[in-house]
Chains A and B, each alone.
Chain A
Amino acid sequence: MSNNEKLSANIEEYLESIYKISQSEESVKTSRISKDLGITAASVSEMLKRLDKMGYVEYSQYKGVKLTGKGLKIAKNITRKHRLLERFLHDILKLKDHFLHDQACEMEHTLSDDAERALCQVLEHPDKCPGDSVIPACDLKFTTCEECMQRQEEEVNEVGKRHENLIPIMELEKQQKGKVSFIRGDYKVIRRLLDMGITIGASISVIKIAPLSGPVEVAIRGSKLAIGRDIACNVFVELIQD
């Protein structure tokens, strides 16, 4: 990451907020961001214009704001750090629930990538934060958590980071195809998925998602599989562009 690209904590907070809102709402409105961050709508729209110029979001007054690929990457990374920290504060430091969010917000901007990786290992690759939101995948060039554990001696800058955005399979839209690129979890989970044909590099598409956070039906290797949401949120793909 070059110097001029270095992001202030402020920008990260914005991108994180936009990402969070976009998870539950169709379009992200200025007023929602203003409410979420506790900043006046005027300042928010000022900032969004700047972010648009920097290439992190696409912003128009009426349509709302949308993260670009570049913005999404940063947003996911900071969200990941935030949720990992919440897990840490909750599981290991046993902090009370109402402290978690603010404390994690403070810490997330200073957490280095190596510390993030170590934190994830100590917490045994958690997939959800204490509030039950899914933790985005790690950005390192690993295919499984098992690999991350095995290549312990290599540091983050030796391993390298992905260029593409990783998407959990249930976030794939119909007709979109993905290449399985990362599976989160322990040996047993990974083993089971591999045996069912969800191997690294395999191409996969979503047929249907059951309502009420039900399972996802995917097409893989000429057959159809139903995968429960708990497992599906651990299978990540890179989008295949046709």
Chain B
Amino acid sequence: MNKLTKTEKTNKSTESENIKESLDDTDMTIALAGNANVGKSVIFNELTGSNQIVGNWPGKTIERAEGKLHFEGQNIHVIDLPGIYSFSTYSMEEIVSREYIAFEKPDVVINVVDAAVLERNLFFTTQLKEMNVPLVVCINQIDIAKQKGIVIDTGKLSAALGVPVVATVAIRGEGLHELMEAVNSVAHNKSENKITTLEYGAEVETRIKSLTNRIESENLNLGYPSRWVAIKLLENDPEIRKLVESKAKNVVHYSYKLAKEIENIHKEPSFSVIAAERYSLANRIASGAQKQTEIEITFSERLDKIVTHRIFGYVTSAIVIGGLLLWTFVIGTNLSNLLSDAFSFFTPVDPQVSGTFVAILWNGAFGGIVAGITLVIPFVIPFYIMLSLIENSGILTRVAFMIDSAMHTIGLHGKALIPLILGYGCNVPAIDQTRILETRRERLLASYAVTFAPCAARTIVILGLVAIYVSVWWAIALYAIDILVIFTLGRVALKVVPGETTGLIMEMHSFKIPSLSVALKQTWVRTKSLIYFVFPIYILGSAILQGLYAYGVLNPVNYILAPITVYWLGLPMITGILLVFAVIRKEFTLLMLVALFGTHLAGVLTPTQFIILALVGMLFTPCLSVLSKLALEFSWKASGTIAVANFFTAVIIGGVVYRIIGLF
């Protein structure tokens, strides 16, 4: 059964096969597990360096990061599991993690724990113990705990849990060597993990044992440890119940009977009894191993007062978001100009070419590379560096806290702000980041909103057309219209896509001083996956379009689109093809215009036409990379619907604004 599930899984995705091949020569596999935001990814990056592959779990839109590490002559395969709080079936991440640990049986699981909130983290540790995996507990961020007056005795903790415990400060790399030594010795000498079971209160414990024996005697071969299955059955976990029901109905009936008994004793549903007991277990272990000295009001708490203040909170939120965008624009525009100049030294980026077929294709492909580089290096990289710094400092959770009620108007909660902000850099990774939301519906709604966030490329068009040729105020007005559009259409989408809205439950971590080297590493990982995805599309797409254009295949497009461009939007005929090109590369709208007419655009377009062209370009069908990303994450249907919806949105709003401006 075990093996079967395993092969099924790998067959589902060729991607994971490739990863497996490249990791064939591994001596051991370790997995990082723990709550969200405890420094798991930092440890993962520190351990694997740039030796990592970021993909998806087979058939799921959940990130699967894995990498390689050499330690004492061994090749170690490291998997970074999603950050979760429990092994229930509340989210896809939880299911993915528990199936991975149960079926693929890593040699060691490193449970990364936030030293400052030990009790909450140990709640998850107790569940890992129940999964019967060789475990090493890594108490991370002991420096922050110390600032809060918390001192942890790792020896006592280790004795209580029956597994090795190592203290670390991952962002400075402290304790990681000791961590790997502990992992190594557990992997080679599994007896270091004592088979102590963490026991619940007597009424619950006897029933868990009784059900465990029953499961064992039935020989169900479920892949999960029997005790864990027993607990899950008493917790009324729907997935596990289904699984057991398919093999032995009587076990499920027996579990109902036991659950009923627990309920009668505690006057509380058994799942809630078990959760409470598990937390009190975590509390006992935590308070036995930690000492809380005098709490003084830390700088972190004082800062917290300001950033979530009823007035200053909004001011700081605005500064954080505005500052991030401003930083990106200022740095981006300067770098972009420099780079474009450098490239035009080799070959002008000119979509209008003639010559041999190969030359045209080459020119197109080269244009794609240039577009990619001039976008990724100046805009995306600075954006990610700053975002990582902001993210790691903990301030973004405060912004999400302040902005939650506004996000509710479009059926999302505060956390959705993070992908939305990312969308201002590039929509593709922003859609990636919607993974922090709980349901597929919310991810789709957030992704839809993201497609309207004017990314760096669209910013170039807005700044290049409107700010330069009309006025900065009109450029700002376009951004204001954009926010209005996001919220209005977000509400419409909410009505179209039915389903329940999940509310916000978010841990508020302490502030940390972000580390630049961690931010740089994160930026590299994020950029790398973007490059793999975006560059091929850019290069191939540009080459094909150039070919079509050079052979005049696209000329009729201007005529076909004339009713929309000329009559409805009041734009010149040539803009038809500009908008088609914008689907490949957003900034093409501007680049082609310059290529066709030179920089004296003021003679070609009226101020109103500049505004309308930029507005339509901003709201228009997203570019190909975004569309294929949407298809990858959701479906081609969702992607196509968004493409069509955005097309009409842009045209309708463009036409209306055109007529409103005409009134003055």
Real binding pair: yes
Chain A residues closer than 8 Å to B283, beta-carbon distance: 221
The reply to whether B505 and A196 form a contact with Cβ atoms under 8 Å apart is yes
Is B323 at the interface (CB under 8 A from chain A)? no
Chain A residues closer than 8 Å to B271, beta-carbon distance: 146, 187, 190-191, 194
Best-buried of A199, A224, A227 by chain B (most CB within 10 Å): A199
Known contacts A222-B117, A226-B506; is-contact A199 B405 (Cβ 8 Å): no
The reply to whether A230 and B503 form a contact with Cβ atoms under 8 Å apart is yes
Tell me the nearest residue of chain A to B508, going by C-beta: A224
Is B276 at the interface (CB under 8 A from chain A)? yes
Chain A residues closer than 8 Å to B402, beta-carbon distance: 210, 214
Report B210 CB to chain A, min CB distance, Å. 21
Partner of B504, one of A146, A194, A226: A226
Complex formed: what's the CA distance from A196 to B506 in Å?
A: 9
Tell me the nearest residue of chain A to B400, going by C-beta: A226
Partner of A147, one of B88, B118, B268, B406: B268
In the complex, chain A residues 206-240 whose Cβ is within 8 Å of any chain B Cβ: 208, 210-215, 217, 221-231
Is B267 at the interface (CB under 8 A from chain A)? yes
Complex formed: what's the CA distance from A200 to B263 in Å?
A: 13
Known contacts A147-B269, A191-B271; is-contact A210 B404 (Cβ 8 Å): yes
Tell me the nearest residue of chain B to A145, going by C-beta: B269
Tell me the nearest residue of chain A to B282, going by C-beta: A221
Report B492 CB to chain A, min CB distance, Å. 20
> Chain B 17-60 against A: per-residue CB contact (8 Å), 1 yes, 0 no?
00000000000000000000000000000000000000000000
Report B86 CB to chain A, min CB distance, Å. 4
Known contacts A144-B269, A195-B90, A222-B120; is-contact A187 B504 (Cβ 8 Å): no
> Chain A 170-197 against B: per-residue CB contact (8 Å), 1 yes, 0 no?
0000000000000000011011111111
The reply to whether B269 and A143 form a contact with Cβ atoms under 8 Å apart is yes
Tell me the nearest residue of chain B to A193, going by C-beta: B505
Best-buried of A214, A227, A231 by chain B (most CB within 10 Å): A214
The reply to whether A199 and B276 form a contact with Cβ atoms under 8 Å apart is yes
Report A191 CB to chain B, min CB distance, Å. 5
Partner of B279, one of A188, A192, A221: A221
Complex formed: what's the CA distance from A194 to B505 in Å?
A: 11
The reply to whether A227 and B276 form a contact with Cβ atoms under 8 Å apart is no
Partner of B413, one of A187, A194, A195, A228: A228
Chain A residues closer than 8 Å to B294, beta-carbon distance: none
> Chain B 575-586 against A: per-residue CB contact (8 Å), 1 yes, 0 no?
000000000000
Chain B residues closer than 8 Å to A192, beta-carbon distance: 88, 90, 505
Partner of B86, one of A195, A211, A228: A195
- The count of chain B contact residues (Cβ–Cβ below 8 Å) is 43
Complex formed: what's the CA distance from A213 to B505 in Å?
A: 15
Tell me the nearest residue of chain B to A196, going by C-beta: B505
- The count of chain A contact residues (Cβ–Cβ below 8 Å) is 39
Tell me the nearest residue of chain A to B283, going by C-beta: A221
Is A69 at the interface (CB under 8 A from chain B)? no
Chain B residues closer than 8 Å to A20, beta-carbon distance: none
The reply to whether A228 and B272 form a contact with Cβ atoms under 8 Å apart is no
Is A32 at the interface (CB under 8 A from chain B)? no
The reply to whether B507 and A195 form a contact with Cβ atoms under 8 Å apart is no
> Chain A 144-160 against B: per-residue CB contact (8 Å), 1 yes, 0 no?
10110010000000000
Complex formed: what's the CA distance from A210 to B272 in Å?
A: 29
The reply to whether A190 and B272 form a contact with Cβ atoms under 8 Å apart is yes
Is B132 at the interface (CB under 8 A from chain A)? no
Chain A residues closer than 8 Å to B504, beta-carbon distance: 215, 226-228, 231
Chain A residues closer than 8 Å to B85, beta-carbon distance: 195-196
The reply to whether B507 and A224 form a contact with Cβ atoms under 8 Å apart is yes
Chain A residues closer than 8 Å to B608, beta-carbon distance: none
Complex formed: what's the CA distance from A188 to B237 in Å?
A: 10
Main secondary structure of the interface of A (DSSP, over half): mixed
Is A201 at the interface (CB under 8 A from chain B)? yes
Is B302 at the interface (CB under 8 A from chain A)? no
Is A109 at the interface (CB under 8 A from chain B)? no
Chain B residues closer than 8 Å to A191, beta-carbon distance: 88, 90, 271
Is B538 at the interface (CB under 8 A from chain A)? no
The reply to whether B269 and A231 form a contact with Cβ atoms under 8 Å apart is no
Known contacts A187-B236, A223-B117; is-contact A215 B404 (Cβ 8 Å): yes
Tell me the nearest residue of chain A to B397, going by C-beta: A226
In the complex, chain B residues 268-316 whose Cβ is within 8 Å of any chain A Cβ: 268-269, 271-272, 275-276, 279, 283, 286, 308, 310, 313
Chain B residues closer than 8 Å to A202, beta-carbon distance: 276, 279
Chain B residues closer than 8 Å to A212, beta-carbon distance: 405-406
Is A49 at the interface (CB under 8 A from chain B)? no
Complex formed: what's the CA distance from A226 to B118 in Å?
A: 18
Is B501 at the interface (CB under 8 A from chain A)? yes
> Chain B 402-446 against A: per-residue CB contact (8 Å), 1 yes, 0 no?
101110100001100000000000000000000000000000000
Chain A residues closer than 8 Å to B267, beta-carbon distance: 141, 143, 147
Is B633 at the interface (CB under 8 A from chain A)? no
The reply to whether B413 and A146 form a contact with Cβ atoms under 8 Å apart is no
Known contacts A197-B120, A215-B414, A224-B508; is-contact A188 B503 (Cβ 8 Å): no
The reply to whether A201 and B401 form a contact with Cβ atoms under 8 Å apart is no
Tell me the nearest residue of chain B to A198, going by C-beta: B505
Known contacts A223-B119, A231-B503; is-contact A199 B279 (Cβ 8 Å): yes
Report B611 CB to chain A, min CB distance, Å. 33
Is B610 at the interface (CB under 8 A from chain A)? no
> Chain A 8-43 against B: per-residue CB contact (8 Å), 1 yes, 0 no?
000000000000000000000000000000000000
Chain A residues closer than 8 Å to B275, beta-carbon distance: 194-195, 199
Report B545 CB to chain A, min CB distance, Å. 45
The reply to whether A210 and B236 form a contact with Cβ atoms under 8 Å apart is no
Tell me the nearest residue of chain A to B500, going by C-beta: A188
Partner of A223, one of B88, B120, B272, B406: B120
Tell me the nearest residue of chain A to B263, going by C-beta: A150
Chain B residues closer than 8 Å to A217, beta-carbon distance: 308, 401, 508
A-B contact list, 17 entries, CB within 8 Å: A150-B269, A194-B272, A194-B276, A195-B90, A196-B120, A215-B405, A221-B283, A223-B119, A223-B507, A225-B505, A225-B506, A226-B400, A226-B414, A228-B404, A228-B408, A228-B413, A230-B503
The 9 closest A-B pairs by CB, nearest first: A228-B504, A228-B503, A195-B86, A194-B275, A231-B503, A223-B117, A199-B276, A224-B508, A230-B503
Q: Which residues of A contact B (CB under 8 A)?
A: 141, 143-144, 146-147, 150, 187-188, 190-197, 199-202, 208, 210-215, 217, 221-231
Q: Which residues of B contact A (CB under 8 A)?
A: 85-86, 88, 90, 116-120, 123, 236, 238, 263, 267-269, 271-272, 275-276, 279, 283, 286, 308, 310, 313, 397, 400-402, 404-406, 408, 413-414, 501, 503-508
